[in-house]
Structure 1
Amino acid sequence: LMVHRQDEGLQGLEAEVVRCNLLDREGVRSFVKGVDAVIHTAAVISVAGGDPQGRLADVNIAGTRHVVDACLQEGVGRLLHFGTIHVFDPFPLEEVLDETRPLRTEGAGAYDRTKVAGNRLVLDAVEKGLDAVILSPTSVFGPHDYYPSLLGKGISDIYRKRIPMLIPGGYDFVFVDDVVNGAVNALERGRTGENYLLSGHYLTVKQLAALIGEVGGVRTPRRIVPMPVLQAMLPVFRIQSKLTGQPALFTRESLKVLKESPQRISSAKAEKELGYRKTEIGQAMKATLDWFADAGLLHG
């Protein structure tokens, strides 16, 4: 397993851990030498909109290029590349979104653009003979979220009443165990050059908070702040972020994502070809909250 910084989630696993930066071309090539398959999950995720420091482009484009090139040069048997639902154009929102939906172009944020570019690098390599498959999960949640992720922090904050009021909109949330099972099956059953959507369950933010409250046995926020009010407060969130050094509570991009999220994302292709299955959302949330509690992420 190649890691850069965080490796808490790997503790206790019978795996060799190698530290390497994706921007180290030769280091990446050395890592993939002699392996049967590579699962590329590393990425920088951002809902800030821009990329002033170039980290998104460095990791999501240059890093992916190094992985792809290394796999080609070393004759790796299969590359499993993790993309994202964000590469697909969300419009029209009312129609079912599947793998035939065009990729995002105009109006996309920096994260979306860099992930689209990463997908294209993989598909270009397929044309050169690389056996590669792309998986595109929605928003992943579940146990072993040590950092935690943006969604994991949101779940914890809602449970701990750190968020007094909710925001409009919603998203499709997928359980991490389902994504892992889909990935394992894709190694054996995925078709070269294909992209598979791994969706879960669409919930509004209000429904997500209610689910956390129901499963966790706590009272969670119910009131929703109107979108115009949130948009007017964005400058305040930016100033707060600069003062605290923490990511802004909301950004123009994050509000846009929740407002423009498709509610009907199909995983039919993955279900048919990979045997992909979805865990019941209540069961998934219980497993998540149980682990968060054991990890101390629901206290304080």
Structure 2
Amino acid sequence: MNIFIISGANGFLGNNIIRALQNKENTQIRAIVVKNHNTKPLEGLKADIYYALVENYESLNDAFKVKESDNVFVIHCAAKVYIDDKKLDSLMDVNVNGTKNMLEHTKKVNGRFIFVSSSSVFYHKRKNEIINENSLIDLSKTKSPYEKSKIIAGQLVDSYYKDGLDAVTVYPSSIFGPYDYKNMFVETMINEIIKGNLNASITGSYDFVDVRDVSDAIIKLCDKGEKGEKYIISNKEIRVSLLMNNVCELLNKKKIKFICNNSVASIFLPFYKVFSKNKTLSSLFNKESLKVLKYGANLDNSKLKSTIDFVPHDLNQSLRETIDFLRKYNNL
């Protein structure tokens, strides 16, 4: 039996991985979920729910009860995303200690560990620098609490691999697509355009990849990924203003013509957060997203493509299907 244990299973990436896995033969899916958290993303899916906290080692025991003959794949998606230093302890507890607990359990059952990191951990020396798996990751170069936690967690994964654990690390770019029940960057942007609240853009670009492509790649890497290797999962870089106008075109809305300089937006951001009535927009363009968009994401996914069959969705197709989901889910 192939046992897939997925942390953060009710999250955006987690529930899409389960959707891609659920019809595979000889497969059991174990979804690790925090008790009292929203399980709507898992409704109707073929997965056994295990209520646990990744930062609590003992709470994970039941999810890792397997037979010696089972092939165990642990996909560690669970993570908190904070940009506020005031929540650093909670973030580190989940993202670092939680990763250590998942690694320890995986080691005990002799499983394969897939660590979901982020492409944002790579240090950009200059704008539009080509980033690959060998690019610099330096804890001292980032001020982001989230990036720090992911870098430290990645170091833990490396140390367990050196001690003999079968581990693979993936670095997805910014994911978007259907079945996002919390509204990440692209989904928030689409919602605001539909509501007519977004009539300006900013300079900058990033790599946006369909969550289903990331899910598919992770599942394939469970089988074909090389032990100890790391893989960037990305699509292609696109200007935010162009992305927004693609959405406008799909919605038959007027294109956005006003584009604010990223540096100017950064200066006025504190005032906007205080005086703006639209708190959704202030969360969309925060100091973290402005920094990321400023440097772009020229990500090289050639290593992934040489390892698995990886053909990302067409961007507009992904946007169209995301719009359809959001309209249905949010009654827009």
TM-score strictly above 0.5:
yes
- Whole-angstrom CA distance in 2 between matches of 1:233 and 1:242: 15
Q: Does 1:125 align with 2:155?
A: no
Aligned with residue 75 of structure 1, among 86, 106, 109: 109
Q: 1:209, 1:222 within 8 Å by CA — same for their partners in 2?
A: no
Cα separation, 2, equivalents of 1:126 and 1:283: 38
Q: Which position in structure 2 is the counterpart of 1:85?
A: 119
Question: Superposition pairs for residues 229-268 of structure 1, below 5 Å?
Answer: 229-239=264-274, 248-262=283-297, 264-268=298-302
Equivalent of 1:271 in 274, 295, 305 = 305
Q: Aligned partners of 1:275 and 1:120: how far apart in 2?
A: 28
2:239 corresponds in structure 1 to 204
Q: What secondary structure is seen at the aligned counterpart in 1 of 2:227?
A: coil
Please, which moves more after superposition, 240-249 or 119-128? 240-249
Residue identity in the other structure for 1:2: I
Separation in structure 1 between the aligned mates of residue 202 and residue 330 of structure 2, nearest angstrom: 26
Please give the alpha-carbon distance, in whole angstroms, between the structure 2 residues aligned to 1:246 and 1:288: 19
Does 1:37 find its partner at 2:73? yes
Residue 213 of structure 2 corresponds to residue 178 of structure 1: yes
**C-alpha deviations, 1:49-107, integer Å up to 9, x for none?**
635452221211111111111111x2242111101101211223343211111113333
Conserved? CA contact 1:32–1:38, under 8 Å: no
* Corresponding residue of 1:141: 176
Are 1:165 and 2:200 an aligned pair? Answer: yes
1:292 partner letter: L
| Percentage of matched positions with identical amino acids | 26
What one-letter code is carried by the residue in structure 2 that aligns with 1:120? Answer: Q
Pairwise mapping of residues 60-71 of structure 1 onto structure 2 (< 5 A)?
Answer: 60-71=95-106
Structure 1 runs (4+) deviating above 4 angstroms are 240-247
Greater RCO (Cα-Cα under 8 Å, separation 6 or more): 1
- For the residue of structure 1 that corresponds to 2:168, the secondary structure is strand
- Determine the C-alpha separation between the residues in 1 that align with 2:65 and 2:86: 32
TM-score (norm 1): 0.90
Aligned residue for 1:278, secondary structure, equals coil
Query: What letter is aligned with 2:172?
Result: P
Per-residue deviation at 1:247? Answer: 6.7
Tell me what 1:12 maps to: 44
Q: Does the CA contact (< 8 Å) of 1:172 and 1:199 recur in 2? A: yes
Matched residue of 2:47: which SS? coil
Stretch of structure 1 that moved more, 229-238 or 268-277: 229-238
Query: More deviation in 86-95 or 1-10?
Result: 86-95
Distance in 2 (CA, whole Å) between partners of 1:100 and 1:260 is: 18
Q: Which sections of structure 1, spanning at least 5 residues, go unmatched?
A: none
- Do the aligned residues in 2 keep the contact of 1:174 with 1:200 (CA within 8 Å)? yes
Counterpart in the other structure of 2:135: 101
Cα-Cα RMSD: 2.3
Change (3 A) 1:247 1:78: farther
Query: What amino acid is the match of 1:37?
Result: F
How many residues are matched?
295
How big is each residue's C-alpha offset from its partner over 1:173-221, in whole Å with a ceiling of 9 and x where there is no partner? 0001111110110010001111100011211110111111122322242
